[in-house]
Structure 1
Amino acid sequence: MPFTASDIIKIIFAFILPPLGVFLETGCGADLLINIVLTILGWLPGILHALYVIFKH
């Protein structure tokens, strides 16, 4: 499955602001809430979760 331009944008946003990358992928939901909590606890867990969500969907 090749990456599209929107996937690349989501990955860039996942590194800059992880909840934004998750929001663009899944919208408002449990994944976004989990990512916000992980980003508050630490930036790296938020990035890892955002990348996981983006690659999973």
Structure 2
Amino acid sequence: MGNLIRIILLVIIPPVGVLFTVGLGLQFWLNLLLTLFGYFPGLVHAVWVVTRR
């Protein structure tokens, strides 16, 4: 059930999905920056981070 919630958050707000996966580290801040530049780059990075773990 936790993975389902993480995936839903990842699609809606990519940085939140990354935050729940890796915490407040470099990957979170990078994802936040990418999401500010555009939703799609942030989404791609978030999917990569979450599936890598």
TM-score by length of 2: 0.94
Deviation digits for residues 23-57 of structure 1, max 9, x if unmatched?
A: 00000000001000000000011111111111000
Paired residues, number: 53
Which residue does 1:36 correspond to in 2?
32
Structure 2: gaps (5+ residues): none
The structure where helix makes up a greater share of residues is: 2
- How large is the Cα RMSD of the aligned pairs? 0.6
Listed as ranges, the matches of 1:1-57 within 5 Å are 5-57=1-53
Q: Secondary structure at the match of 1:28?
A: coil
Structure 1: gaps (5+ residues): none
User: Which has the larger Rg?
Assistant: 1
Cα deviation, residue 6, structure 1: 1.1
Percent identity over the alignment is 36
